């Protein structure tokens, strides 16, 4: 009887030892995974900071730019629409941007005061157009696909517009009875729509040594 108890006790001790070792190996794997994840998070954080620094780079100096570079910079600056539109309570109110607004400063530095833009003139008209686009397309991505030289100092820019369909976008575009969206529209929310367009930039380097733009037309 005593021998049986000793054997049972040894088996219990052996099982406890096995469980303890199993738990130690499990904790070691968890610690290794935690360290790996911490390193990955740190690397991702550094990459995010690098990308943010690149995206928030100040606009190029117009006095050290060619018309080609200004076209590229124009669509880089407005790649996600007009900044700050989410803070505007009434989209129908006159647009009043601070003087240190990066996009406004860029336009004032690179466009002539009476720059022709579609059906209007002036930097404010350009900003209003971008506000309209940004209000109706909350998540817009404008990418410059290519630039080629046209006639009479014109540069033709080819663009790719990627828009993510949102509920707000549908409510502004569709007539909703009692504020209820049609059933089929819910399948559209979150989907992306891509379109191509082109625009022309006109500059006259001979009369404008800074290469300022005189006309923009987006089609």
Annotated domain spans of the chain:
1-57, 61-218
Cβ atoms of 204 and 215 closer than 8 Å? no
What does the pLDDT read at residue 209? Answer: 39
Q: Give me the sign of the Cα torsion angle 67, 68, 69, 72.
A: positive
What does the pLDDT read at residue 157? Answer: 80
What does the pLDDT read at residue 195? Answer: 63
What does the pLDDT read at residue 218? Answer: 57
Rounded Cα distance, 154 and 113, in Å: 18
Q: What is the mean pLDDT of residues 96-113?
A: 84
Read off the pLDDT of residues 150-174 as tens digits, 9 standing for 90 and up.
777 677 788 787 777 777 777 666 6
What residues contact 197, with CB distance under 8 A and at least 6 apart?
Answer: 158, 159, 161, 218, 219
Q: What is the mean pLDDT of residues 17-40?
A: 87
Whether the full predicted model's pTM is greater than 0.75, yes or no, is: no
What percent of the chain is modeled with pLDDT above 70? 67
Tokens of 186: 């819910």
Tokens of 75: 């669509």
The fold adopted by the segment(s) 61-218 is Nuclear Transport Factor 2; Chain: A, (3.10.450)
What does the pLDDT read at residue 201? Answer: 60
Tokens of 15: 């099982």
Decide if pLDDT at 101 tops 50. Answer: yes
Read off the pLDDT of residues 54-93 as tens digits, 9 standing for 90 and up.
555 555 555 456 777 888 888 888 888 888 776 665 666 7
């Amino acid at each position: 009887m005593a021998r049986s108890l000793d054997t049972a006790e040894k088996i219990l001790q052996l099982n406890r030892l096995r469980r303890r070792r199993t738990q130690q190996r499990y904790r070691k794997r968890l610690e290794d995974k935690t360290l790996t994840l911490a390193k990955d998070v740190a690397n991702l954080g550094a990459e995010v900071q690098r990308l943010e620094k690149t995206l928030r780079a100040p606009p190029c100096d117009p006095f050290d730019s060619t018309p080609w570079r200004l076209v590229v910079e124009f669509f880089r600056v407005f790649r996600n629409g007009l900044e700050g539109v989410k803070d505007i309570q009434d989209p129908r109110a006159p647009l009043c941007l601070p003087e240190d607004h990066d996009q406004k400063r860029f336009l004032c530095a690179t466009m002539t005061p009476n720059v022709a833009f579609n059906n209007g003139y002036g930097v404010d008209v350009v900003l209003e157009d971008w506000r309209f686009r940004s209000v109706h397309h909350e998540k817009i991505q404008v990418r410059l696909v290519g630039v080629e030289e046209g006639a009479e100092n014109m540069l033709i820019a080819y663009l790719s517009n990627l828009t993510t369909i949102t509920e707000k976008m549908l409510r502004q575009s569709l007539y909703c009875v009692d504020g209820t969206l049609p059933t089929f529209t819910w399948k559209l929310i979150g989907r992306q729509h891509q379109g191509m367009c082109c625009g022309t930039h006109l500059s006259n380097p001979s009369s404008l040594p800074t290469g300022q733009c005189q006309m923009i037309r987006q089609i």
